[in-house]
Chains A and B, each alone.
Chain A
Amino acid sequence: MRSWWWKIFGGLLVGYTIIGGLLMPVPRLDILNETIRNLYFHVPMWFTMIILFAGAFIYSIKYLNSGNLKDDIFAVQLTNTGIFFSILGMLTGMEWAQYTWGEAWSNDPKQLGTALCMLIYFAYAILRNGIKDDEKKAKISAVYNIFAFAMMIPLIFILPRMVDSLHPGNGGNPAFKQYDLDRNMRMVFYPAVIGWILVGCWIASLKTRVGLIKYNKEEKSLQSDFEK
């Protein structure tokens, strides 16, 4: 394992949030009750997704600059891991909404925005599978990835805040501040976000390394074919 300390650190942080998140005191609020603890697990999924997609965005630009297929492998695997975390975030959000908002899907602006964002990234995966030529695939998907990231910002951060939403911090709803004031929650929430981002990056790095090994193997076999 190369530079392992941040992986262990991330794992320990998430381990701490599982224990602390379930046992440490939280504010007593109506309707939310104990589900307020979901904040420690549902929200970090989205933070991780955003960081992974941002990484994919950077590597897509890098690929367009360098034309190096290794950068494309980074971009793809970061995006795939991001999609995985977005699915987890969506499912946990729907479970939470079922018992606090009354229904799993209430066409909340943030739900809709995120669903659109997810569809855009699903299309990315499908688009890639549809192109045979490696260079062409990498180039088109890099351009598409930049577009997808540029779409994600308004869909998740701007549009839901301009209309009334059930999510905290949007429209007339009380914001994070209310929970943020609670010291105990902050002690778990921030480690949870950092821990999950690290674990997400770790998973993405594993997938990237698999991709790189495959790429190097193909490169080698191509070279030996060429030498023949």
Chain B
Amino acid sequence: MKAKYTLVTILVLLLTTTIAQAQTEMADTMRSNGKIYVVVAVLATIFAGIFAYLIYLDRKLTKAEKS
């Protein structure tokens, strides 16, 4: 039983390494499709900033209302 498992794991390991060598895996998402993902990331960052700022203002106002 044990020998079988070790054999399978070795095979799986070998397979994964060969696949990895076949197509060198890089962080390609942000560089593909004319780099549109970068623009999406920038817009998302800006909106996240505005969103955080609104939350900040809201909390500040709640404090001002209480005092």
Contact = CB atoms under 8 A, between A and B. Distances in A.
A209 B59 CA distance: 12
B40 interface: yes
Contacts of B47: 14-15, 18
A201 B63 CA distance: 20
B54 to A, nearest CB: 6
Main DSSP-derived SS at the B contact region:
helix
Given A1-B59, A209-B61, A213-B61, A202 B54 contact: yes
Contacts of B24: none
Interface residues of A, number: 19
A159 interface: no
Contacts of A199: 54
B38 to A, nearest CB: 11
Contact of A203 (B39, B54, B59, B64): B54
Contacts of A213: 61, 64-65
Interface string B27-67: 00000000011011001100110010011011101101100
A60 B57 CA distance: 26
B36 A22 contact: yes
Contact of B39 (A1, A7, A22, A209): A22
Contacts of B61: 206, 209-210, 213
Contacts of A23: 36-37, 40
Contacts of B48: 15
A162 interface: no
A35 B54 CA distance: 29
Given A15-B47, A15-B51, A2 B36 contact: no
A181 interface: no
A29 interface: no
A15 B44 contact: yes
Contacts of B64: 213
Nearest to A34: B36
A1 B40 contact: no
A126 interface: no
Interface string A123-143: 000000000000000000000
A222 interface: no
Nearest to A41: B43
B54 A7 contact: yes
17 contacts: A1-B58, A7-B58, A15-B47, A18-B40, A18-B43, A18-B44, A18-B47, A19-B44, A22-B36, A23-B36, A199-B54, A202-B54, A202-B58, A206-B58, A209-B61, A210-B61, A212-B65
Interface of A: 1-2, 4, 7, 11, 14-15, 18-19, 22-23, 199, 202-203, 206, 209-210, 212-213
